[in-house]
Amino acid sequence: TDHQGNSLLMEVAATSNYRQIAIMKHLVALGLDIDQQNLHGRTALHALCAGVKLSSSSEEESSLDYLLGVCNGVNSSDCQGV
């Protein structure tokens, strides 16, 4: 994790990359906690959703579908209630 508590999974989720979903699946398979929260209470799902635009690509949609399928805390909010 970095100085703000962001995991590698959060960093990958925050980027728009054509290999994003493959990297996330690999990190989860390695045992990274999909529901880990950073110092602000945000998860990889928060990071991914913050980067998804209204005209999102099919890769972003499949990454979102993947995270929604594996997250236990899909209704968790951060320290600001988001």
The single-letter code of the amino acid at 41 is: G
pTM: 0.76
Mean pLDDT confidence for 22-46: 91
Q: Is the pLDDT of residue 27 over 90?
A: yes
- Kindly report, residue by residue over 51-75, the tens digit of the pLDDT: 765 545 555 558 888 888 888 877 7
Which stretch of DSSP H or E encloses residue 27?
helix 20-29
How much is the mean pLDDT over the chain?
A: 82
3-state secondary structure the chain: CCCCCCCHHHHHHHCCCCCHHHHHHHHHHCCCCCCCCCCCCCCHHHHHHHHCCCCCCHHHHHHHHHHHHHCCCCCCCCCCCC
Q: Is the pLDDT of residue 3 over 80?
A: yes
